[in-house]
Amino acid sequence: MNPPISLGALTITAERPRELARFYAKLLNWPYIRDEQARPGEPPNAGWALVCPPDGVTALALNFDYDPNFRRPVWPTTPGEQTPTIHLDLGVDDLDTAVTWATTCGATIAGLQPRPSEHQVMIDPEGHPFCLCLS
């Protein structure tokens, strides 16, 4: 018999997880719930953070975890470079307004846009691509 299993959070690794969590909290207008500082012997930017959807919103929580071997992903993928292994698709009603907001929060617009009229590929401050997709 299979036990009940549910998906509750997505963990994103980063060099500066608490800063990246603040970026996504601002971008999504979600609460920055808590964090942990670097452990003894780790660099000051290490640690962990949690961003959760606001009350009444059903969505996965986002964990941000320090990875001492983090390498900034490259989009589009390039042979020999770190590839993104996952990305977020974020639904929006107005693509232009969402792109402007994301760049105000600290994202950059990716150079390659496979379907620019349907979605915009953005790059977060740690290099992870994410897509703003028309709902």
How many domains, in total, are found in the chain?
A: 2
**pLDDT above 90 as % of the chain:** 98
Q: What is the pTM of this model?
A: 0.94
Q: Which residues pair with 66 in a beta bridge?
A: 14
- Point out the domain boundary residue: 40, 70, 100: 70
pLDDT, one tens digit per residue, over 94-116 is: 999 999 999 999 999 999 999 99
Residues 6+ apart with CB under 8 A from 28: 51, 53, 90
Host domain of residue 29: 8-70
Q: CATH number, domain at 123?
A: 3.10.180.10
**pLDDT value, residue 95:** 97
Do 58 and 88 share a domain, yes or no? no
Rounded-to-integer distance, Cα 92 and Cα 131, Å:
10
pLDDT, one tens digit per residue, over 45-85 is: 999 999 999 999 999 999 999 999 999 999 999 999 999 98
